[in-house]
């Protein structure tokens, strides 16, 4: 979610452009999405600073008409029990009903073992990558899209991604490097103005 100041800046700009003191210059603005899923990123911010940066804490929020969706449309055509379990898990986390793990701290939860794999050493990372991408070196070229399209690793920070990517790339096997050469040229046309640049 973007910082509330960004939305407030758009509000001021539209008021100025429309010469109208109403919110957003009298224009209808639609905010959509699940606000529970993403908080604004505040560098070294405390929980209080992060919450203060949310759009819900803006002066604009009092003018917002809220409409709640009641049916998860992504699940209406999906009969997979595992997908429904994950959706229920995410819903309970979002609503704050998922149990707190007091061993970890007052603000921590422990995800089910089948949803999270512990990472304490480089060996753990290798096991984790193998569990996600176990068959990646046995794929045919036409299988790559569907294989990688249904797998992802979610990381909390770029530094974690920077650790994972080189390790995963080392595991890729190939038959050697291929160099693809290209050549750029202009088709010759006599007496054409396009053969010379317009300025020198």
Q: Are 45 and 52 in contact (CB under 8 A)?
A: no
The answer to whether residue 20 sits within a structural domain is: yes
Whether residue 47 is found in the same domain as residue 94: no
What local confidence, expressed as pLDDT, does residue 141 receive? Answer: 78
The answer to whether residue 137 sits within a structural domain is: yes
For residue 42, give its domain range: 4-63
Residues 76-80, mean pLDDT to the nearest whole number: 74
**0.75 cut: is pTM over it?**
no
Q: Roughly what angle, to the nearest 10 degrees, separates helices 122-132 and 158-171?
A: 70
Q: Are 23 and 12 in contact (CB under 8 A)?
A: no
Coil, strand, or helix at residue 61? Answer: helix
Output 143-151 pairs: Cβ under 8 A, ≥24 positions apart. Answer: none
Whether residue 36 is found in the same domain as residue 17: yes
Coil, strand, or helix at residue 163? Answer: helix
Residues 76-102, mean pLDDT to the nearest whole number: 83
The answer to whether residue 192 sits within a structural domain is: no
Q: Which of 41-45, 68-72, 139-143 has the highest mean pLDDT?
A: 41-45
Query: 104-134, pLDDT tens digit by residue?
Result: 888 888 888 877 777 777 678 888 888 888 8
Whether residue 135 is found in the same domain as residue 158: yes
The answer to whether residue 132 sits within a structural domain is: yes
How many CB atoms neighbour CB 6 within 10 A? 13
Q: Which of 63, 78, 96 is the last residue of a domain?
A: 63
Total of domains in the chain: 3
The answer to whether residue 176 sits within a structural domain is: no
Whether residue 81 is found in the same domain as residue 49: no
Whether residue 125 is found in the same domain as residue 160: yes
Specify whether the backbone of 60 is left (phi greater than 0), alpha (psi in -120 to 50) or beta. alpha
The answer to whether residue 187 sits within a structural domain is: no
Of the pLDDT bands very low, low, confident and very high (cuts 50, 70, 90), residue 14 is very high
Residues 189-197, mean pLDDT to the nearest whole number: 60
Whether residue 59 is found in the same domain as residue 9: yes
The answer to whether residue 159 sits within a structural domain is: yes
Whether residue 73 is found in the same domain as residue 47: no
The answer to whether residue 84 sits within a structural domain is: yes
How far apart are the C-alpha atoms of 146 and 23, rounded to whole Å?
46
Whether residue 95 is found in the same domain as residue 138: no
Whether residue 74 is found in the same domain as residue 54: no
What local confidence, expressed as pLDDT, does residue 197 receive? Answer: 59
Residue 93 has pLDDT above 80, yes or no: yes
Whether residue 10 is found in the same domain as residue 58: yes
Whether residue 163 is found in the same domain as residue 145: yes
How far apart are the C-alpha atoms of 123 and 117, rounded to whole Å?
12
Of the pLDDT bands very low, low, confident and very high (cuts 50, 70, 90), residue 59 is very high
Whether residue 122 is found in the same domain as residue 165: yes
How many CB atoms neighbour CB 99 within 10 A? 8
């Amino acid at each position: 979610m973007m910082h509330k100041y960004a939305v407030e800046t758009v509000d001021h700009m539209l008021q100025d452009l429309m010469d109208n003191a109403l919110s957003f210059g009298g224009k209808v603005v639609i905010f959509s999405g699940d606000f529970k899923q993403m908080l604004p990123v505040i560098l070294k911010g405390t929980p209080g600073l992060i919450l203060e940066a949310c759009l819900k804490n803006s002066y604009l929020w009092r003018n917002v008409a809220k409409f709640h969706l009641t049916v998860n449309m992504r699940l209406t055509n999906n009969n997979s029990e595992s997908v429904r379990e994950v959706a229920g898990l995410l819903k309970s986390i979002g609503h704050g009903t998922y149990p707190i793990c007091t061993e970890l701290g007052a603000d921590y939860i422990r995800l089910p073992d089948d949803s999270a794999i512990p990472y304490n050493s480089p060996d753990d990372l290798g096991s984790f990558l193998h569990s996600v991408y176990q068959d990646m070196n046995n794929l045919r070229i036409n299988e790559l899209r569907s294989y990688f399209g249904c797998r992802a690793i979610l990381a909390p920070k770029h530094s974690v991604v920077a650790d994972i990517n080189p390790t995963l790339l080392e595991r890729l096997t190939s038959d050697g490097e291929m160099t693809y050469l290209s050549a750029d040229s202009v088709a010759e046309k006599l007496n054409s103005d396009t053969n010379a640049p317009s300025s020198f």
